[in-house]
């Protein structure tokens, strides 16, 4: 799918400098987008609960620190269920989802990435600690 087609289908937008004629890749594995990372659900080690169908308009997972640049998860109706009811010992997990067709993570500055069918969770990324400093969240 081309980025332009995905944006037309979802009503979302990206910054003008991004090429809308690029094919959005669908990746079957770990992937990062700014301050988020998508990981196989099995790595969480616990089964989430209270799943619901991803709404047709998608779901905003997180916004940048200044309240801008949301990361939005979108999918065709009936192909993705999700939950935010997660037990994550590091408290970085935001949502988990299971999809039977590609889902799309869209961000105004980064464009979009496709996530192959499977079971996944999304969490914040952390910068490695240096010296005695505590690890910090990656800022987008």
Record the tokens describing residue 92, joined without a space: 């970085």
**What pLDDT does residue 87 have?**
85
CB neighbours of 105 closer than 8 A, spacing ≥ 6? 33, 36, 38, 61, 71, 72, 73, 112, 113, 114, 115, 122
| DSSP label at residue 54 | P
DSSP-derived 3-state class of residue 120: strand
Give the residues across from 122 on adjacent strands: 38, 95
Q: Map 58-93 to HEC letters.
A: CEEEECCCCCCCCEEEECCCCCEEEECECCCCCCCE
**What pLDDT does residue 37 have?**
94
Distance between CA 2 and CA 19 in Å, rounded?
10
Distance between CA 53 and CA 110 in Å, rounded?
25
DSSP-derived 3-state class of residue 139: coil
Task: Tell me the mean pLDDT per 10 residues along the chain, length 140.
Answer: 96 95 96 92 89 95 74 96 90 95 95 97 79 55
| DSSP label at residue 10 | H
DSSP-derived 3-state class of residue 44: helix
**What pLDDT does residue 129 have?**
60
pTM of the entire predicted model: 0.86
Distance between CA 102 and CA 27 in Å, rounded?
9
Through-space distance between the first and last CA atoms of the chain, rounded to whole angstroms: 25
**What pLDDT does residue 66 have?**
60
């Amino acid at each position: 799918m081309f980025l332009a087609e995905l944006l037309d289908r979802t009503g979302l937008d990206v910054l003008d400098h991004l090429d809308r004629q690029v094919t959005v890749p669908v990746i079957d594995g770990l992937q990062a987008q700014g301050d988020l990372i998508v990981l196989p659900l099995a790595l969480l080690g616990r089964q989430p609960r209270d799943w619901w169908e991803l709404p047709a308009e998608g779901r905003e997972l997180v916004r940048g620190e200044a309240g801008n640049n949301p990361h939005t998860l979108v999918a065709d109706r009936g192909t993705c269920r999700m939950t935010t009811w997660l037990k994550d010992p590091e408290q970085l997990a935001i949502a988990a989802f299971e999809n039977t067709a590609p889902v799309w993570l869209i961000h105004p500055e980064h464009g979009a990435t496709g996530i192959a069918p499977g079971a996944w969770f999304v969490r914040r990324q952390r910068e490695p600690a240096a010296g005695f400093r505590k690890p910090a969240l990656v800022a987008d």
